[in-house]
Amino acid sequence: MRKLAAGNWKMNGTRAALSELEALAQAHPTPSVDILICPPATLVQPAAALLADAAVAIGGQDCHMARAGAHTGDIAAAQLADAGATAVIVGHSERREDHGETSDVVREKANAAHDAGLIAVICVGETLAERDAGHTLDVIGAQLAASLPETCTAANTVIAYEPVWAIGTGKMPTLDQIAEVHGFLRDTLAARFGDSEAAGMRLLYGGSVKATNAAEIFAVANVDGALVGGASLREDDFSQIISALQDAL
């Protein structure tokens, strides 16, 4: 499988930020890993148009579970695809927390993404209280069971492990803890979808990933890339993470 460096811009960026994407594409004309940037919805179409001939793909940060309808302010997976997106993040902890999204909702959103021909980047992760209580694998197992639809394949699904307490805090699990969770993810996926599909599903780590720690994270077994937040906003920062991933091949 090809490794994946994915960037989640969250609620950051205006059209002026497209210059960072142009610089990113110029810095990596023929990368040996896949590169995905998920900008805010307002930038999906111009970003996809700008990078139409580049090796940097564009994705959305969320989609509605319905194909269309009376859902003011929401965006359908088909609309993202029409704008040029090839993937969409679903189930990010900020959506689960800020908008009360359950794993059942995440599953329906992933289904909608698949129906629209998009790769679903499905996020799972525990809170600090859950980790301290020793419930990390139980929480993640339950999220996987409920968040992943039966339509998941190695081609249309990426799993991102993002400990809630590590996102944007500068804190992160130990390498052994990352290895434990990613090994659990692989085994759980194999039990449900079969060894072949599970072996091809990319497992990303996310949560305070930056240039200074990327190399050691990518050396961990079953880590197939990263879902990066703030460090993906600038080309020079994200390029160092991409280079670390390429060096890990």
Residue-wise pLDDT tens digits, 30-83 = 999 999 999 999 999 999 999 999 999 999 999 999 999 999 999 999 999 999
Q: What is the pLDDT of residue 148?
A: 98
pLDDT (0 to 100) of residue 170: 86
Residue from 64, 92, 114, 182 carrying the catalytic annotation: 92
Domain limits, the chain: 4-19+27-240
The CA distance from 187 to 62, in Å, is 27
The C-alpha atoms of residue 72 and residue 207 are separated, in whole angstroms, by 31
Q: What is the pTM of this model?
A: 0.98
Active-site residue flag, 92: yes
Looking at the domain covering 4-19+27-240, what would its CATH class be?
alpha beta
pLDDT tens-place string over residues 72-128: 999 999 999 999 999 999 999 999 999 999 999 999 999 999 999 999 999 999 999
Told to judge if 162 belongs to the known catalytic residues of this protein, a careful annotator would answer: yes
Catalytic residue among 20, 94, 162, 235: 162
How does pLDDT run across 156-187, given as a tens digit for each residue? 999 999 999 998 888 889 999 999 999 999 99
pLDDT of residue 168: 86
pLDDT grade, residue 247 (50/70/90)? Answer: very high
What is the predicted pLDDT for the residue at 174? 96
Distances (CA, A) of 56 to 25, 35, 88, 169, 230: 6, 5, 14, 27, 18
**Across 128-157, average pLDDT:** 97
Quick one: pLDDT at residue 178?
Answer: 98
Instruction: Dig out the tokens for 154 from the structure.
Output: 């190695």
Contact (Cβ atoms closer than 8 angstroms) between residue 217 and residue 187: no
Could you give the maximum distance between any two Cα atoms of the chain, in Å?
48
